[in-house]
Amino acid sequence: MINEKARIIKSERLADQVFSTVFDSRIAEPAYPGQFVMVGTKSDSRLLRRPISICEADREKGTIRLVYRAVGYGTKELSEAKSGDSFDILGPIGTGFPLDAAQDKKQIILAGGGIGAPPLLQLARALRRTGIGKDSITAVLGYRSMKSGLFLNEEFSAEVNVILSTDDGSVGTRGTVVDALKERDLKPDIIYACGPLPMLKAVKDFAADSFIPAFISLEERMACGMGVCLGCMVKTAGRDSHSHVNNARICTEGPVFNAEEVVL
Ligand X SMILES: Cc1cc2nc3c(=O)[nH]c(=O)nc-3n(C[C@H](O)[C@H](O)[C@H](O)COP(=O)(O)OP(=O)(O)OC[C@H]3O[C@@H](n4cnc5c(N)ncnc54)[C@H](O)[C@@H]3O)c2cc1C
Ligand Y SMILES: Cc1cc2nc3c(=O)[nH]c(=O)nc-3n(C[C@H](O)[C@H](O)[C@H](O)COP(=O)(O)O)c2cc1C
Contact residues: other proteins, CB under 8 A: 1, 3, 40, 44-49, 88, 90, 220-234, 242-247, 252
Comparison of 164 and 224: residue with beta carbon closer to ligand Y: 224
CB 84 within 8 A of CB 166: no
Comparison of 14 and 223: residue with beta carbon closer to other proteins: 223
> Peptide bond preceding 92: is omega within 30 degrees of 0, i.e. cis?
yes
Residues that bind ligand X (CB under 6 A): 36, 48, 50-53, 68-69, 71-75, 115, 118, 219-222, 255
Separation of CA 229 from chain center:
22
Comparison of 47 and 263: residue with beta carbon closer to ligand Y: 47
Which helix H or strand E contains 50, and what residues bound it? strand 50-53
Comparison of 70 and 223: residue with beta carbon closer to ligand Y: 223
Quote the CA–CA distance of 18 and 69 in Å, as a whole number: 4
Shortest Å, Cβ 38 to other proteins: 9
Asked if 48 interacts with ligand FES (CB under 6 A), we say no
How far is residue 229 from each of residues 8, 218, 221, 254, measured CA to CA in Å? 29, 17, 11, 15
Asked if 229 interacts with ligand Y (CB under 6 A), we say yes
CB 152 within 8 A of CB 14: yes
Q: Where along the sequence are the contacts to ligand FES (CB under 6 A)? A: 222-225, 227-232, 249, 251
